[in-house]
Amino acid sequence: MYRDMIPQEIVHDLVQRADIVALIGERVPLKQRGRHHVGRCPFHQDHTPSFTVTREKGLFYCFGCGAGGNVLKFLMLFENLGFTEAVERLAERLGVVLPRDVGREAASPHRERHLAILRLARDFYRACLGDPRTGAAAREYLARRGVSAETQARFQLGYAPVGPDGLLKFLQERGFGPEEMECLGLVSRTAGGRYQDYFRDRVIFPIWDHRGNVVGFGARVLEGREGPKYLNSRESEVFRKGHTVYGLHLAVDGIRRAGHAVVVEGYMDAIAAHQCGACNVVASMGTSLTREQGRLLARYTREVVIAYDGDAAGTAGVLRGLDLLQELGLEVRVIGLPPGEDPDGVLRTRGLEGWQQLAQEAKSLLEFKLEVAMAGGRPRTIPGKLAVLRQVLPNVARAGSAVAREEHVKLLARELDLSWETIADELKQLRRNDWLFPDKDSKTDYNMITEYDGRGKAEAGLLRLLLDHPGYLDTVRESLGEDFFAYPVHRRIFDEMVVCYGQPGELAHLVLERLAEPAEQDAFLRLLMCDVPGDPEALLLDYMRTIRRGLEREARLKILDRLRRAEEQGDLQAVRSTLTDLQRLLATKGGVRDGRTAERVDREGQEARYPHLRRNHGLPAKC
């Protein structure tokens, strides 16, 4: 939301003036290679230099983990800053004075004040835990749970005393009113209308945003006391549970080093993990991960390992959350904990090594979902098998690469005792169906980028070319229309280029800003880091020709499909009109210019009319 508070022109101006190679070079050793600078990526464990910076475009991109963006994005990731802070840092570096009302205070007049209250509350709870008398029971509890003093300090653990209004008075003495405390869920009103502390006689776990600001609290009841086991701060202007990943700012370095994040459910699990040295662990505070939580994680890693209690892991809410992560382009794996076991217990009994072993052996999302789907036993009937297959096929379709997809298909064939072809066939059907990609416009399959066919290559090449020569946009639209892409991600990029063209600022940066999904940004940056391989005009014509051929082929197949259905139904009239359509299509310039094409259409037409021919050719029955 701060994004809107700083005038766009100022941001664009700063980004344009910054020397991205110099700024990144101060933090990451870079070497010049051709027109780019390359180095080892600071955001994942990089053995080969996959990290590329281009001064010309003012962008960086890692071919290993997909991290990329402009100089502000780099500062946000590397220094763990928010957008506004990154702008301020960059302005400072360039000696630019930002207008006064720019910045966090402007976003919300209360925000700074609320954060100050929460900081003070944390300090109050900390002091109570340290107090020899007041905090004794809580310290004993934490000692029994094996939480060391260092860990208590690192996670800023505290204790809310029994007293009815200790915190209330503490904050009032510092000039804050009970209404604002109530707003943040720190105090509540009794039936008689008096204010009192909301958390009483509980161990306190501060909850932070990803920058380390305290935004709320979790509170656990002491053993042997009454009341619900856990209480959370209510949601407020600064705290939204579904937008928060517990411990993220403490785990960022660990995540980078490990190359993946591990997500557990509760605070205690995350804390125990860090104490053992597993510093890439965060908690989701509930088992149903949200899209916002996924986006936060995707800022720092491409791979997420889930470690929930065995009992909770297979529930519908959890599975939906895992699908969401996959949809965001993250690779998802699941640690299968036995029922009744939690990460805290595993760490205590098996130590760091045992834990890392489990993480290493984590199942792929598909294996895990298959296990859940077959919890009642292996299906024996065809309908039973298909029911299982359809539950997991969307995950196969979204899998990371062609290789992963093939592995998945093999696994399914083995587990369900179906032929490889049957599964591949179902998969093909599914990929054709819209329900797999319900919000087509915002979602993409960035992985397709690594396995382009000729059409995909032409689309990508065309987009790359247009970024350098946006003047050709009109030519392309006149010749091919608006909706000629076979790859949804390409259509997204093209649409944004059309929108951004002509606006002030570097086209690539404007487009990048508008691409919301990590997968889209990834595809776009990958594209940008390629060079245009020759004479632009010749390439343009070549790409357009390839795409047009693809479109024509699609149109023909559609008509042939219609023809086949009409014949199957014995609808002579439909057959006749479809044949006319086909002739008309072939008579168009594009259709007859290419002799081979006409010949192929004829063959396909024959095959459609005499299905047994296809079988003789060894073609799959439905393709």
- Residues lying near Zn ion in the complex (CB under 5 A): 41, 43-44, 62, 64-65
Residues in the chain: 623
Q: Write phi, then psi, for 67 (nearest 5 degrees).
A: -65, 140
Residue type, 212: G
Among 25, 26, 64, 20, smallest CA distance to 43 is for 64
Q: Based on CB atoms, which residue is closest to Zn ion, 65 or 168?
A: 65
Q: Based on CB atoms, which residue is closest to Zn ion, 67 or 507?
A: 67
Q: Based on CB atoms, which residue is closest to Zn ion, 62 or 255?
A: 62
DSSP state of 199: S
The CA-atom distances, in angstroms, between 358 and each of 54, 333, 404, 596 are 40, 11, 21, 56
- Minimal distance, residue 289 CB to Zn ion, in Å: 23
Question: What are the contacts of 24-30 at 24+ separation with CB within 8 A?
Answer: 24/53, 24/60, 24/71, 24/74, 27/78
Largest CA distance in the chain: 94
Beta bridge partners of 204: 158, 219
Beta bridge partners of 116: none
- Minimal distance, residue 47 CB to Zn ion, in Å: 11
How far apart CA 45 and CA 161 sit, in angstroms, is 45
- Minimal distance, residue 563 CB to Zn ion, in Å: 50
Q: Based on CB atoms, which residue is closest to Zn ion, 329 or 456?
A: 329
How far apart CA 470 and CA 502 sit, in angstroms, is 9
DSSP SS3 for 263: strand
How far apart CA 494 and CA 488 sit, in angstroms, is 10
Q: Are 310 and 371 in contact (CB under 8 A)?
A: no
The CA-atom distances, in angstroms, between 242 and each of 1, 108, 291, 296 are 16, 20, 8, 11
Q: Based on CB atoms, which residue is closest to Zn ion, 32 or 45?
A: 45
- Minimal distance, residue 256 CB to Zn ion, in Å: 9
- Minimal distance, residue 441 CB to Zn ion, in Å: 28
- Minimal distance, residue 303 CB to Zn ion, in Å: 12
Among 357, 233, 255, 361, smallest CA distance to 299 is for 255
Q: Based on CB atoms, which residue is closest to Zn ion, 74 or 198?
A: 74
Q: Based on CB atoms, which residue is closest to Zn ion, 62 or 458?
A: 62
Q: Based on CB atoms, which residue is closest to Zn ion, 46 or 165?
A: 46
- Minimal distance, residue 258 CB to Zn ion, in Å: 13
Q: Based on CB atoms, which residue is closest to Zn ion, 64 or 321?
A: 64
Query: Is the CA virtual torsion 607, 611, 613, 619 positive or negative?
Result: positive
- Minimal distance, residue 72 CB to Zn ion, in Å: 18
Q: How many helices (H) and strands (E) does the chain have?
A: 29, 16
Query: Is the CA virtual torsion 472, 473, 474, 478 positive or negative?
Result: positive
- Minimal distance, residue 506 CB to Zn ion, in Å: 23
Q: Based on CB atoms, which residue is closest to Zn ion, 41 or 72?
A: 41
Tokens of 338: 């036995």
DSSP SS3 for 227: coil
- Minimal distance, residue 522 CB to Zn ion, in Å: 11
- Minimal distance, residue 530 CB to Zn ion, in Å: 18
- CB-CB neighbours of 156 under 10 Å: 18
Q: Based on CB atoms, which residue is closest to Zn ion, 41 or 273?
A: 41
Cβ-proximal residues to 258 (8 Å cutoff; 6+ apart), any chain: 45, 280
- Minimal distance, residue 44 CB to Zn ion, in Å: 4
Element (H, E) at 202: strand 202-208
DSSP state of 131: S
- Minimal distance, residue 63 CB to Zn ion, in Å: 8
Among 312, 286, 344, 309, smallest CA distance to 142 is for 344
Q: Based on CB atoms, which residue is closest to Zn ion, 62 or 493?
A: 62
Residue type, 239: F
- Minimal distance, residue 75 CB to Zn ion, in Å: 16
How far apart CA 497 and CA 19 sit, in angstroms, is 24
Q: Are 206 and 250 in contact (CB under 8 A)?
A: no
Tokens of 428: 């093909």
Tokens of 251: 């785990």
Query: Is the CA virtual torsion 106, 110, 111, 112 positive or negative?
Result: positive
Q: Based on CB atoms, which residue is closest to Zn ion, 52 or 395?
A: 52
Q: Based on CB atoms, which residue is closest to Zn ion, 41 or 347?
A: 41
